[in-house]
Structure 1
């Protein structure tokens, strides 16, 4: 565990991408199985522990330190794992079990996955007693699921590829069929074994993602080399279906990250009846009309799906791409060929009466000005009644293969311009990882009429969108203008003539019973700081409610 903790510590302070890859590769090369496989699972976000939660950590430290001192320390440090790691008292003598032994990473993960809930507090305390400050910090980060050391899952897989002479994309392609501790993956990367093969009849295939296009990008792109299609405001999914030689049917629905979400959409899985793998958008379609994302949210993240919900919110897939058919991998083919095969498949399914699956239409355009006009007015450019569910356009190179990850050049996304609102900063909280010393998580509000005049009501939270320099400016303001504290949260000055106005960009609104304002923003982020505007000139709740009515 101490070696893994050292790796995390060095990654968190290393800003250079290639240096991070070297650090991870060196760790994987010098660490034996299964330790390195468990570390890879942690770095790629594949670990989740049902019974180990932040509340357990809080309870343990409360038994060993003064609670007031802990709260003051937590407020100052801003990170739960770091605070507990620093404050954990050194054990007096040897622990009752395990000696003064620094546990292995694999030992910890196995314990977190298998120990009953009642035994976890005692075992966690023993592990903490056997580790130094850095080891305790890494252990607690592992438990809370928030490593935040600047190493993405893609970067960790690239580090595995660097053990040999493998392209990172090759690791991405075999990844979905692998499981911890990834012995076969490391053997293949080091030239000691064959390429891993999956036996799953309906496997997930890594999705291809797009880069956001900028105005300066268009001059280097030829419109004739690209197809355009609507970017639907749903969730990206992959539908896989297969029939065995005895006629047994298997079907599965995946999120874009490879999570099996079949259980949440049994109606859709039951309707899948083809031999292959489709890439598309999960939507709600009622009376042949695509509903907005706000409607789709009624079906998302549900542990149980009722018969009433299935009837009121029928799930639907609008297909973008065909990845495989009848055992043939189509991903190496150019998009124009995959599109032709997809059109033929959807046409055949429609003639057979399938209604839960249709084709995402292409957007005709001759030049970038024409596509810009279609993006501004989807209803007049072929989207018709479904225009409200369009969030922009996608550009896909006609000659491009379907590649894993986010390669720059083949695919671009051109989303519609976001909504913006001027809101007043009300509360701030420290961030995590590199931001643990900055107040970087913000709650903001707009004005509405109260019993005694105008009052501010919170409408959203954001922790990104600003530059590093803007973060420093906001942090200084928060420290200077704090008027109250609630644990790690600071209330900042927000009067009509004193405070900080933030221009907040967001994708949409939904009604909410969890927010005092009655509305919730989708993907809010800080667009800019409005030092030029006094808080009394910030927007009003009525403006957001009017926008919400339009979206409904």
Structure 2
């Protein structure tokens, strides 16, 4: 456990992407099986220990600590695993013989324990481990890493370790299970590449690069097809040999949240598209906003009522496999013709085809980009007519030309500590704008943001929170926000829609803090009517 604990400590303190990858690759080379496999599963979020819940951990720590003191500690630290690892007082009667328990041994003990015994097993392990190993143990069993490492980064570390392309790792990923013994044997050069029994695996998606003015000047519009860029989430749907899977663009299996799509497929193959809710073009019903799609995301199961209120469908972009035939090497036009035939035969309420946007000049396309015909469109996709479907982000074949972001000036209203390396800073902010309420101007919350600012700006924001907190609601701080005293930030966002879920009646898409406006008084910030006016033109279009 100490080697895994050291890895986590160093990952937390290492901001550079390549340095994180090297740390993980070195660990995977040196750690034995099955320890490295369970560490990999924990880092990538594929390790599931259903018997260990956060509530159990809180119960254990409250057996030895005053509840109020623990809440104050948790509030200050901001991370449950880190808090418990710091405040835990080991039982001096407990032996320390197993103080260097390995990840493999720990997982085995927990998987072997009955539900009635797991409470005592976790308590015993917390007593046996030192502070750093205790933190690693808690991260291992809860899966809530928050150390600046994504599943994609972990896969890249595996690729670097074995000297293979990360695409090979991603193709294998969903056909393997912890502790990944076959995977590591292959990466160590001791066996052949694992053979997958499940054909409906994820294939790395083809990505686009942002279109620049230089690109526009150099490219010939006759070489490209244009499609609308829809405001959902990019997905890959696979249906081969009786196995059906729906994957996010990063390769996460989200099938459980969308049984309506899985059950409806009448074709075999793998398609690339946009996951949306509402009605398809083939049913002449409106496609709904991203805020509606969010009702279905990040769920393991969905209710019948949710399936009825938020019907999901896929708007097809591309075809990777036609049946079992890999057609990624064919050109875009040929793939699209086969995709159109496939979708035309599929249920019209679950699948439709992303339409092409006719244009002759870049100026004509730019005008369409700035005023799209549907509020659920966030820009234009450009695809070379002769482009094959290749994994990754190679500049040239595909471009994205997004609408210019919306910008408003808003006032900070609430703040909360971040997680991981930001756990000691107030870095999650709720902001608001002015509206009339009971005959007077008042702030109404319109969004939350936790990125967009630099480390130096974070220091400024954190200092303001500490010096201007007027109320506390658990971990949340209410900030002084008056017309002549408060903190104004410029917020950029990709889109805005009406929402019945939010008090303000609006929901923003991808809000982020673009600038700190310390030169402005809060009374100069924008009004709710300004945001509502941003929606109206799209609805009228």
Measured in 1, the distance between the counterparts of 2:391 and 2:53 equals: 33
- SS in structure 2 of the partner of residue 162 of structure 1: helix
Tell me whether 319-328 or 388-397 shows the greater mean CA deviation: 388-397
* CA contact 1:510–1:521 (8 Å) conserved in 2: no
Q: Aligned residue for 2:69?
A: 69
Structure 2 stretches lacking a partner, 5+ long: none
State yes or no: 1:508 paired with 2:496.
yes
Contact kept? 2:236, 2:270, Cα under 8 Å: yes
Equivalent residue for 2:288?
Answer: 292
Does the CA contact (< 8 Å) of 1:11 and 1:150 recur in 2?
yes
1:382 corresponds in structure 2 to: none
From 372, 376, 380, the equivalent of 2:370 is 376
Partner in structure 2 of residue 320 of structure 1: 317
How far did 1:63 drift?
2.4
Rounded to whole Å, the distance in 2 between the matches of 1:309 and 1:59 is: 33
Q: CA deviation at 1:270?
A: 3.4
Distance in 2, matches of 1:233 and 1:105, equals: 41
1:363 maps to 357
Deviation at 1:342, TM superposition (A): 2.4
Q: Which residue of 1 aligns with 2:32?
A: 32
**Alpha-carbon separation, structure 1, partners of 2:343 and 2:208:** 24
TM-score by length of 2: 0.88
Check 1:398–1:118 CA distance in 2 against 1; reply closer, same or farther (3 A cut).
farther
Over 3 Å counting, the alpha-carbon distance change for 1:275 and 1:231 in structure 2 is same
CA deviation digits over 1:301-360, x for unaligned, max 9? 663442x6656654432211111113111223343442343244445x27xx85643321
Counterparts of 1:298 and 1:83, CA distance in 2: 31
Structure 1 residue aligned with 2:102: 104
Which of 219, 232, 235 does residue 233 from structure 2 map onto? 235
Cα gap change, 1:409 to 1:8, in 2 (>3 Å): farther
Q: Counterpart of 2:124 in 1: which secondary structure?
A: helix
Does residue 277 of structure 1 match 2:270? yes
2:83 pairs with 1:83: yes
- Once the two structures are TM-superposed, the CA of residue 162 in structure 1 deviates from its matched residue by 2.3
Matches within 5 A, 1:244-255: 250-255=243-248
Residue 207 of structure 2: SS of its match in structure 1? coil
Q: Superposed, which structure 2 residues align to 1:448-467 within 5 Å?
A: 448-451=435-438, 453-467=440-454
3-state secondary structure, aligned to 1:388: coil
Contact 1:34 1:106 in 2 (8 A): yes
2:339 corresponds to which of 342, 352, 359 = 342
Please tell me whether the aligned partners of residues 332 and 402 of structure 1 are also in contact (alpha carbons under 8 angstroms).
Answer: yes
> In 2, Cα distance between the equivalents of 1:255 and 1:146?
20
Distance 2:319 2:236 in 1: 10
Does the aligned pair in 2 maintain the 1:102–1:127 contact within 8 Å?
no
Retained in 1: the 8 A contact 2:279–2:349? no
Structure 2 contact 90–126 (Cα < 8 Å) conserved: no
Within 2, Cα distance between the matches of 1:61 and 1:542?
Answer: 49
Contact 2:167 2:203 in 1 (8 A): no
| Contact 2:94 2:128 survives alignment (8 Å) | no
2:159 matched residue in structure 1? 161
**Cα contact 2:39–2:140 (8 A) shared by 1:** no
Q: How does 1:124-163 map to 2 (within 5 A)?
A: 124-163=122-161
465-474 or 297-306, larger mean C-alpha shift: 297-306
- From the superposition, tell whether residues 115 and 463 of structure 1 become closer, same or farther in structure 2 (CA, over 3 Å): farther
What is the aligned length?
533
Matched, 1:491 2:484: no
Counterparts of 1:113 and 1:213, CA distance in 2: 50
* Residues 90, 128 of structure 2: 8 Å contact kept: no
Provide, for residues 235-265 of structure 1, a one-character-per-residue CA deviation record: whole Å limited to 9, x for no partner.
322222345xxxxx55443333444444544
Q: Is 1:539 matched with 2:526?
A: yes
Contact kept, 8 Å, 1:233 with 1:292, in 2: the verdict is no
User: In 2 relative to 1, CA 259–77 (structure 1 residues): closer, same or farther, beyond 3 Å?
Assistant: closer
Q: CA deviation at 1:436?
A: 2.0
Following TM superposition, by how much is the alpha carbon of 1:453 offset from its aligned partner in structure 2, in angstroms?
2.8
Deviation of residue 281 (structure 1)? Answer: 1.7
User: CA 1:354/1:455 → structure 2, altered by over 3 Å: closer, same or farther?
Assistant: closer
Matched residue, 1:384: none
Normalised by the size of structure 1, how large is the TM-score?
0.86
- CA shift for structure 1 position 449: 3.0
Query: Contact conserved, 2:170 with 2:202, CA < 8 A, in 1?
Result: no
Q: Can you give the 5+ residue segments of structure 1 that lack an aligned partner in the other structure? A: 244-248, 380-386
Q: 1:190 to 1:537 in 2, by over 3 A?
A: same
